[in-house]
Amino acid sequence: MPGRVLKGNEIRDQILADLGGEVARLAGKNIRPGLAAVLVGDDPASQIYVRNKIEACGRIGLFSETIRPSAESTTEEILAIVQGLNERDDIDGILVQLPLSDHVDENKVLLAIRPEKDVDGFHPMNVGKLATGQPTLTPCTPTGLIEILKRSDIPIEGKSAVIVGRSNIVGKPVALLLLAEHATVTICHSRTQDLVAVCREADILVAAIGRPAMITHEFIRPGATVLDVGINRVSDAAVVEQLFANTPKRLARFREKGSAVVGDVHPEHMRELAGAYTPVPGGVGPLTIAMLMSNTVKAARLRRG
């Protein structure tokens, strides 16, 4: 029997509805949380991401502003923009859309964002607070994974959680968040011995390695919860036809577009073996923007005591 699909769009809508109520309560105290997005250059994908984030702000009543420096802007010019936003009291969250141009020092720009306005949750001070169990702004995708589990009534406490991937963006922070929920956590990577055996011990398996359909049936313990973070674009027809052999609609879309979005877990194997799982697309992705909104509201609360 196929596993339960954890529908990210539905969970996102629940979170945004909750946030809308909180924003309305803050408005009664003359507080309107604000998010500023810095979009450098004309990258089409970045423009779509920022537009979606700004639309989400409007949906729940946040103030939002997009600043669009040219692709030729120097590190110093972008730093000046960030510093200006740091000083503005109407801005609670600052988002610098990545990637930046090659000539810009990306790390320097991100470090310039004040930790209390770092709604991506990447600043070392926020990472340190997360590691030591202090209230802070946490990375959006990992926090979204926890929300998926909690809002789907999937137990975390006492469960074995295995994470495939050790990135600073997903792997490490989701390990810390799962530890905070009292899971027993294992992080795997390219040097892990007998990766298959380790993964098969998982009650909760998080795939965040960036390799299309790498996690196949032998990795998945029957009945496990599988959270697929991967977003991989595949254009090889033979690969796509093998992955979606039993999903005619996905194959039809591939033949129309010439590419398909695939997660890090084989979709058919995940559907057949997992007790519950996030599809790709429509699983983890929608939660990332929802948690960005949540962090902006949280930043407004923390900044104002």
Do the beta carbons of residue 239 and residue 168 sit within 8 Å?
Answer: no
Q: What is the pLDDT of residues 45-71, one digit of tens each?
A: 889 989 999 999 999 999 999 999 999
Count of CB atoms situated within 10 Å of the CB of 82: 21
Q: What is the pLDDT of residues 262-279, one digit of tens each?
A: 999 999 999 999 999 999
The question of whether 53 is a catalytic residue gets the answer: yes
Domains parsed from the chain with CATH numbers: 29-114 (3.40.50.10860), 140-285 (3.40.50.720)
Q: What is the pLDDT of residues 114-153, one digit of tens each?
A: 999 999 999 999 999 999 999 999 999 999 999 999 999 9
Give me the DSSP letters along the chain: -PPEE--HHHHHHHHHHHHHHHHHHHHTTT---EEEEE--S--HHHHHHHHHHHHHHHHHT-EEEEE---TT--HHHHHHHHHHHHH-TT--EEEEPSPPPTTS-HHHHHHHS-GGGBTT--SHHHHHHHHTT------HHHHHHHHHHHHTT---TT-EEEEE---TTTHHHHHHHHHHTT-EEEEE-TT-TTHHHHHTT-SEEEE-S--TT-B-GGGPPTT-EEEE---EEE--HHHHHHHTTT-HHHHHHHHHHS-EEE-SB-HHHHHHH-SEE--TTTSSHHHHHHHHHHHHHHHHHHHT-
The question of whether 120 is a catalytic residue gets the answer: yes
Report in angstroms the alpha-carbon separations of 111 from 81, 257, 293: 13, 39, 21
Residue from 92, 118, 120, 264 carrying the catalytic annotation: 120
Give the per-residue pLDDT at 45.
Answer: 84
Would the pLDDT of 1 be above 80?
Answer: no
Q: What is the pLDDT of residues 88-119, one digit of tens each?
A: 999 999 999 988 989 999 999 999 999 999 99
The question of whether 14 is a catalytic residue gets the answer: no
Span 158-182, average pLDDT: 97
Residue from 92, 97, 159, 298 carrying the catalytic annotation: 97
Residue from 53, 117, 159, 172 carrying the catalytic annotation: 53
Give the per-residue pLDDT at 44.
Answer: 87
